[in-house]
Amino acid sequence: MKLIKKITFVLFYGITLLLFQACSDDETLTPDPFVVAFKNLSSNLSEIPNQTEIKLVYSEVAEENGSFTISIDAKNARYGIDFTTVPEAVNNQIKLPITIGETASKIVFKKLSPYMDETTDIKLNIANISYNGSNIQGNIEYALGTSPSLGGNIQVNVGGPNQPNQAFIDLSSGIATTPRRDSWDLGFYGGAHFRVTINGALYMATKALDTDDIDSVNEASVIAIQPEVAVGTFRADNIAYIDAPNGNILETAIAEISVTPSENKVYLLNLGSEVSTETPKPGSVSISGGKRGWKKIRITREGNEYILQYANLNDTTHQQIRISKNAAYNFTFFSFEKNAVVPVEPEASKWDVGFTVFTNAITGYGSYGFSDFIIHNRKGSVTAYRVNTEDIPYEDFTLTSVEDTLFSEDQTAIGSSWRSVFKKVAHSDRYYILKDANGNIYKIRFTALTNSDGLRGYPEFEYKLLQ
């Protein structure tokens, strides 16, 4: 009995000692410091608007009030004459508050002079943080000059689980343009060819008819073919009714517009679906609302202009508009609702990647609609390819790792491969290399499919200029 008591005491003492040591170890752990960091690394002065926000983020929710100081080091630029900030700097120092419950802060940068050039170099540095347990580390410097953006983190506003927006992002400036995806119907190519695109973000489809007389077409004459002129019929041959997903301008559903008027046929145009307004459960999407109906269109050309004829199916007369080519843009966009040209994409040289609902093709099953899709600007000479982390970890990929032969023109090189809609996450085992029209090369890693509330339509990515 005494032996059992002795063993029991030894075991109890040993366990108590282990627990005490564990508690002691916990008490000596150093907590993570409170950090303030720039969300992005730089901006291109020649590309940002006259007033832009420079965002800073905290490593955690502020549990007390404090402050931090940003120092300004400017070369060939004068504060108050060439540029200024909000809050205002005093002796080249900007002081910002840290407020309980907040997770971020910002500086508003204002350009006052148009004469800042390639010799201008403005650097903002986190010089001091007045907050218990803080440390200066991470993205502590922000550069403004005429060089391309060094990189950063971007949350893209596709607009939530209905994904009403398209987002076109210029990596060299970090600027995003976010039109509604239902703001346009047709795009008229600004390059050497006379080509017209349909809005795949609404799942539009089109088919040529055997006539060049738009007023002779009515619903009765096309009712037999309407079921096949649609996206998602699971017929392999219906890819003839959509633009090639790869982005080749020579493979649009509408043929090259001929200089010979009689060769330009009338097209039956399925306008696709409205943007849904239903609210799905978190992590899901609701993309398509009601059907938008049909149009009949015919397009001819004259000089440097497209001539668009359009009408509802049973109309016996049509409307007509002339649309001039604009070489600065991939497309000039037209809206049937507005009966006018509308702004959508930035200039061709001012965007690299686009986030959009997209009409893709599935081998053997034809056209199909995808959400959370990413294209690169093929028509603007952007190329891309994928890298797996098992081959080269993201952190280890440098400019010398780039393989030029892998760059693809296919605008779906990123496509849907970056995310898992079943797991509702961005894949962590891959990233992408992108080369813009100016030869700048970036590595891009997608970090989130949803926002902090689990809602789709707010993807995030980080990117870095390789140099």
Give the domain-ending residue among 147, 170, 198.
147
Give domain status of residue 249, yes or no. Answer: yes
H or E stretch including 458? Answer: strand 456-465
Does residue 192 share a domain with residue 291? yes
Does residue 191 share a domain with residue 322? yes
Q: HSE, CB side, 13 Å, CA atoms: give it for residue 83.
A: 32
pTM of the model: 0.80
Which CATH number characterizes residue 124's domain? 2.60.40.2030
Dihedrals phi, psi of 348, to nearest 5 degrees: -55, -30
Q: Residue 116 is which amino acid?
A: M
pLDDT at 7: 36
pLDDT at 8: 39
SS3 171: coil
pLDDT at 30: 66
Give domain status of residue 77, yes or no. Answer: yes
The pLDDT tens digits of the residues spanning 349-368 come to 999 999 999 999 999 999 99
pLDDT at 376: 99
Instruction: Tell me the β-bridge partners of 442.
Output: 434, 465
The set of residues, in sequence order, having a beta carbon less than 8 Å from that of 369 and lying 6+ positions away, is 203, 231, 232, 287, 288, 357, 358, 359, 360
Give the domain-ending residue among 280, 298, 331.
331
Does residue 429 share a domain with residue 294? no
Does residue 212 share a domain with residue 304? yes
Q: What angle do CA 65, 69, 71 make, to 5 degrees?
A: 170
Give domain status of residue 18, yes or no. Answer: no
CA distance 266 to 222: 11
Number of domains making up the chain: 3
Please list the ranges in the chain whose pLDDT falls under 70.
1-30
Burial of 132-163, coded b for 16+ CB within 10 Å and e otherwise, reads eebeeeebbebbbbebbbbbbbbebebbbbbb
Asked if omega into 164 is within 30° of 0 (cis), the reply is no
Q: Residue 255 is which amino acid?
A: A
Give domain status of residue 82, yes or no. Answer: yes
Does residue 407 share a domain with residue 327? no
pLDDT at 173: 86
- Give yes or no for a contact between 366 and 235, defined as CB atoms under 8 angstroms apart: yes
- Please tell me what DSSP assigns to residue 79: B
Give domain status of residue 282, yes or no. Answer: yes
- Give yes or no for a contact between 173 and 351, defined as CB atoms under 8 angstroms apart: no
Does residue 305 share a domain with residue 211? yes
Give domain status of residue 404, yes or no. Answer: yes
Give domain status of residue 13, yes or no. Answer: no
Does residue 326 share a domain with residue 195? yes
The set of residues, in sequence order, having a beta carbon less than 8 Å from that of 82 and lying 6+ positions away, is 74, 111, 112, 113, 115, 116, 120
Q: What is the dihedral of CA 323, 328, 329, 332, to 10 degrees?
A: -10
pLDDT at 146: 80
pLDDT at 12: 37
Does residue 71 share a domain with residue 128? yes
pLDDT at 46: 81
CA distance 123 to 103: 23
Does residue 320 share a domain with residue 437? no
- Give yes or no for a contact between 444 and 386, defined as CB atoms under 8 angstroms apart: no
CA distance 68 to 53: 17
Does residue 121 share a domain with residue 168? no
Give domain status of residue 292, yes or no. Answer: yes
CA distance 311 to 73: 60
pLDDT at 29: 57
Question: Range of 380's domain?
Answer: 153-179+349-465
SS3 6: helix
Does residue 159 share a domain with residue 190? no
Does residue 317 share a domain with residue 295? yes
Give the domain-ending residue among 147, 170, 195.
147
How much is the CA Rg of the chain, to the nearest whole Å?
Answer: 28
